[in-house]
Amino acid sequence: MELSNRIKSIPPYVFAALDKKRLAAIDRGVDVINLGIGDPDQPTPKHVLDAMHKAIDEPANHRYPPFGGMKEYKQAAAEWCHKRFGIDIDPDSELTSLIGTKEGLHHTILAMVDPGDTTIIPDPAYPVYRTSTILAGGTPHFMPLRPDFDFTPDLEAIPDAVADKAKLLFINYPNNPTAGFADMAFLEKAVAFCKKHDILLCSDLAYSEMTFDGNVAHSIFEVPGAKEIAIEFHSLSKGYNMTGWRVGYACGNKEAVKALAQIKANVDTDIFRAIQIAAIAAFKGPRDHIDACNKLYKERRDLAVAALTSLGWPVKPTKATFYMWLPVPKGMTSTTFSELMLEEAGIMVPPGTAYGPSGEGYFRLSLCADKNRLQEAFNRMKEHNIVFEPAKATV
């Protein structure tokens, strides 16, 4: 059996490989603390569950859903965007449902990129931007994220020769994996840059509701004229603790949304109706759980900042997401540090290189574990003398 060159062109999905290592350690009897995955540990809100329970008992909801999403779902999503960001989205022509933003990002690339085309992607970044570009036959151009600018890129450093032939440019703020945060000034620059070079700006807004200390994430469509060149991806996974439900939507430029919907109509049959009805309850329901979860993540962040500082790490409080992007100790690579954490302390963290070349020298730590479990992880690091810089550690 001969596999396609397409599948040979991409590496195994890094998180699947990491999970194999985690499971192997568990099989050896290790009590693994998994700080590697961005999966909320809090339950889906009760009003969403109640809506799902009711909807699943209705036989009419067991049939095929309409392509692009139920009218009620799209309307509720558009209304949520207006209430949250003050933007107007036409649910009929500027919005389509997604089975999670991961597939939406992938299918947008398939809709826009031909063999030989270029996409501009952040580095480090969510791996799908890169692998889906390669699967489409395109070439990813890495756009390094700058720690001195809260991990936003220097758009002016992108060569004109690259920008002029690029089809897509991806941004993701609040950011995975760096927890970087972008203000309106950066979003305005991104829109102007993509207008100048006729690029579709793809804004991945999966972490829009996960911000702290008075910071508030923005939609790209708060920038005047952004609909001319932008599409934005929204998810209920993080803000509503619905990762396993696989539900989201894309909105924005009519032509881009139509192309995405056309690809999807040929490869999937949309979201189970009952899940869409549950999502409507999320859009229309209370936001108390979002505030409660953000309070919880902030408490965990503060615990992690204090503990890591005592272990010699240079670390500052993050503004958003439940991630921390941290340097590895001197003399170690990202991979060797990740292996050390698992083998010596039973702690799972992904190496920075999982997110791109600029990830070398970093690792990502997730705060999707309760405070007792986090404290146990830091206690293990102390016990095994896993410190960043011994001279600055207080252990």
Give the pLDDT confidence of 255-284 residue by residue, as tens digits. 999 999 999 999 999 999 999 999 999 999
pLDDT reading at 9 higher than 90: no
pLDDT reading at 8 higher than 90: no
Question: What is the rounded CA–CA span in Å between residue 217 and residue 225?
Answer: 19
pLDDT reading at 79 higher than 90: yes
Chain mean pLDDT for the chain = 95
- Helix, strand, coil percentages in the chain from 3-state DSSP, rounded to 5: 45, 15, 40
Which DSSP letter does residue 362 get? E
Cβ-contact 214, 291 below 8 angstroms: no
pLDDT at 185 (0 to 100): 97
**H or E stretch covering 372:** helix 371-383
- Greater model confidence, 129 or 27: 129
Distant-in-sequence, close-in-space partners of 235: CB < 8 Å, separation ≥ 6: 98, 100, 101, 205, 206, 247, 248
Listed range (29-33, 210-214, 285-289) with the worst mean pLDDT = 29-33
Q: Which residues of 4-27 are buried (b: 16+ CB within 10 A; e: fewer)?
A: eeeeeeeeeeeeeebeebbeebee
pLDDT reading at 389 higher than 90: no
Q: Which superfamily is assigned to 5-43+288-385 in CATH?
A: Aspartate Aminotransferase, domain 1 (3.90.1150.10)
CATH class of residue range 46-284: alpha beta
pLDDT at 39 (0 to 100): 93
Q: Where in the chain is the domain with CATH 3.90.1150.10?
A: 5-43+288-385
Span between the terminal Cα atoms of the chain, in Å: 55
Q: 155-173: per-residue pLDDT in tens?
A: 999 999 999 999 999 999 9
Three-state DSSP state, 311: coil
Cβ-contact 172, 122 below 8 angstroms: yes
Tokens of residue 43, six digits: 């339950």
Tokens of residue 332, six digits: 């170690």
pLDDT at 377 (0 to 100): 98
pLDDT at 180 (0 to 100): 97
Query: Which among 113, 42, 68 has a CA at the least distance from the CA of 264?
Result: 68
What is the pTM assigned to this prediction?
Answer: 0.95
pLDDT at 20 (0 to 100): 84
Q: Where in the chain is the domain with CATH 3.40.640.10?
A: 46-284
Question: What is the rounded CA–CA span in Å between residue 343 and residue 339?
Answer: 6
pLDDT at 18 (0 to 100): 76
